[in-house]
Amino acid sequence: MSGFRNQRWDPWLIISQIIAVQTLYYLGLGFLIFFITFAINQVPTLDYIFSYDTLQLSSWNGRFFCTVFLLNALTGALAIFYFVGRYKQCLDFSITIHFYHFIACCIYNYHYPNIFSWYVIQFLSIIIMTILSERFSKKYELQNIPLTSRADL
C-alpha cells in the first residue's frame, strides 16, 4: 500500500530528530546567553540555562533572561521545522524539548523547580514554539505541487 507521505515508524529517525532539535535549542540558548552576558559584563555560566533562580520575575535580570528563553522559542521552532517538517508533530517535539530541559534542570539543581515563574516561562515557550513551527511547517506543506516539469513546456 503506497500513498502520499506514507511513512513507516522509524525509531532511529525519531531519536536523531530529537537529538538534533534539542542540540539546536541549547546552541541557540547558549549563543543568546553568551552574547547577552558579554554585553552586560557578566560571566556566562550554566546557571543561566539550568538554574531556576535565573527565571525569577521579581528582578530585572530575571525578567531579561525570561525574555531570552522566550526568544529562543524561535530557534526551537526553526529546528523543528528544519529537522521534522511535519505539521502534526510540532507539538510533540516542542513538549519533548521542554521535557528533557525539565529533566536536565532537575539533575543540575538536585530538586524540582520550586519557582512558579519557571513553569510559566516553559509553558509560554512551548506555546510559542508550537505555533511558530506549525506555521512554518503548514506554509511549507501547503505549497503547490508542480505537475509539469520545465522540460515539458
Residue 137, pLDDT score: 87
Say how many domains are in the chain.
1
In a domain, 63, yes or no: yes
Phi and psi (nearest 5°) for 60? Answer: -65, -45
Flag whether 53 is in a domain: yes
Predicted pLDDT of residue 128: 97
User: For residue 24, is it within any domain?
Assistant: no
**pLDDT for res 46:** 93
- Give the chain's residues under pLDDT 50: 1-4
Range of the domain at 111: 46-138
Residues whose CB falls within 8 Å of the CB of residue 119, separated by 6 or more in sequence, listed in order = 113
Q: Does any domain span residue 105?
A: yes
In a domain, 66, yes or no: yes
Q: What is the reported pLDDT for 48?
A: 92
Is 120 inside any structural domain? yes
